[in-house]
Amino acid sequence: MTNRSIELILGGARSGKSGFAEQCAKNSGLSVTYIATATSLDDEMARRIKHHQQQRPSHWQLIEEPLALAQVIKTHSTADSCLIIDCLTLWLTNCLFGEHDIDWQTAKANLFDALSQAQGQVLLVSNEVGLGIIPMGEVSRHFVDEAGWLHQELAQQADKVTFVIAGLPQVLKQPTRD
């Protein structure tokens, strides 16, 4: 049995989910690797990325990987590490709508395989997009559906699931004590 803890951290835009994940990483006492899935396609996104970078401790390792998430987890997951993956909905966007020909079902299966082998602590940050109005367009509905299914599967595999709203973490699932 591997020494691991997987936590799914969900929340809306500007809910405080990334800050919560970063605080969990700081509290872990482990070596932290921050895996960023965002890509800078415009000035506004570049500013967001820079803001996030300035908020994180400088001694944390940063890996920017928009697509090969499973491989990064397999490479960097160790018993004495904490991985923050921020965020899964950007990764989903990159897989579904990026310029690379990615088979989403294979990418998702590879992610679950990597998580099943992970060691240490893994904090998965993702946007909960299914609480609002159902999008009118086919592409938007497809994205919301895939995000919802991804979150459901991750919640099943995760040891802990936390929903952050207005900066307040609400634990939805936590390990049971024997």
User: What local confidence, expressed as pLDDT, does residue 145 receive?
Assistant: 95
pLDDT tens per residue across span 24-49: 999 999 999 999 998 767 777 667 77
pTM: 0.92
- Tell me what the mean pLDDT of segment 17-30 comes to: 96
The confidence score (pLDDT) of residue 130 equals 87
Residues 152, 111, 65, 91, Cα dihedral to 10°: -30
The mean pLDDT of 95-112, rounded to a whole number, is 93
The pLDDT of residue 17 is above 60:
yes
The pLDDT value recorded for residue 160 is 98
The SS3 assignment for 101 reads coil
User: Which of 55-59, 91-95, 132-136 is the most confident on average?
Assistant: 91-95
- Is residue 1's pLDDT more than 50? no
pLDDT in tens, 48-62: 777 777 778 889 999
Q: Where are the beta strands (DSSP E) in 69-176?
A: 81-86, 120-127, 160-165, 168-173
pLDDT on residue 178: 61
What tokens were used for 99?
């310029």
pLDDT of residue 3: 78
Cβ–Cβ < 8 Å for 121, 82:
yes
pLDDT over threshold 70, residue 101: yes
Domain 4-173 sits in CATH 3.40.50.300: yes
Instruction: For residue 128, give the DSSP letter.
Output: -
Tokens of 92: 């989903």
Average pLDDT, the chain: 92
Q: Specify whether the backbone of 47 is left (phi greater than 0), alpha (psi in -120 to 50) or beta.
A: alpha
**Contacts for 73 with CB less than 8 Å, ≥ 6 apart:** 35, 83, 85, 111, 114, 115, 118, 122
Q: Where are the domains of the chain?
A: 4-173
CA–CA dist 2, 39 (Å, integer):
32
Give the span between the Cα atoms of 8 and 158, in whole angstroms: 6
- The burial class, CB within 10 Å (0-12 / 13-18 / 19+), for 2 is exposed
For residues 10-34, average pLDDT: 95
52 given a catalytic annotation: yes
| Active-site residue, selected from the candidate residues 51, 52, 100, 151 | 52
Alpha carbon separation from 30 to 75, 82, 103, 116, 142 (Å, rounded): 16, 6, 34, 20, 37
